[in-house]
């Protein structure tokens, strides 16, 4: 499982840019950058839509003022869903990144099987990554939302 000090695996993600699917890799997203990532079990789901994403949207400027180059919202959804969710929430300062096949999520050991509810999904977590290395990692216990929120991340920066 991913932990502080781990280097992120090289994986290609999906991102909708100007209506076109792009596939940025880990290196492109994290190399020589300071990045905050927060992962959610699914776009448009209750806690994710009402608390997790809105918190990062509201505090994006303050987080970036702490020397963060980008904020990434990661979910095991496709790029079209992530783009629509971002637009529905005015998340223009957040990169809405899709891990549609859960390749990254599984490789870092932060996946969970929700069975018939949604299949393989991500655990809820946040992390600070500097040049591809995990500097902070805040993984929620299932069904909780206490340590991966935007306010906690901002305080830790």
How crowded is the C-beta side of 83, counted as CA atoms within 13 Å?
12
**Residue 48 annotated among the catalytic residues of the structure:** yes
Are 21 and 98 in contact by the 8 Å Cβ rule? The answer is no
Q: Which of 11, 15, 35, 48 is catalytic?
A: 48
* Cβ atoms 34, 68 nearer than 8 A: yes
Geometric angle at alpha carbon 55, from 49 and 60, rounded to 5°? 125
Q: At 135, phi and psi to the nearest 5?
A: -100, -30
- For residues 64 and 57, the answer to whether their CB atoms sit within 8 Å is no
Catalytic residues, by residue number, are 48
């Amino acid at each position: 499982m991913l932990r502080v000090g781990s280097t992120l695996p090289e994986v290609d993600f999906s991102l909708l840019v100007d209506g076109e699917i792009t596939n940025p890799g880990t290196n492109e997203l994290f190399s020589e950058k300071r990045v905050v990532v927060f992962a959610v079990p699914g776009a448009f789901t209750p806690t994710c839509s009402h608390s997790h994403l809105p918190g990062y949207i509201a505090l994006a400027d303050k987080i970036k003022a702490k020397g963060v180059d980008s904020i990434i919202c990661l979910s095991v959804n496709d790029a079209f869903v992530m783009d629509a969710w971002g637009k529905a929430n005015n998340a223009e300062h957040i990169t809405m990144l899709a891990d549609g096949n859960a390749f990254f999520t599984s490789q870092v050991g932060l996946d969970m099987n929700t069975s018939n509810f949604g299949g393989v999904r991500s655990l809820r977590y946040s992390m600070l990554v500097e040049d591809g290395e995990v500097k902070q990692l805040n993984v929620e216990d299932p069904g909780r939302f206490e340590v991966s929120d935007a306010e906690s991340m901002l305080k830790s920066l």
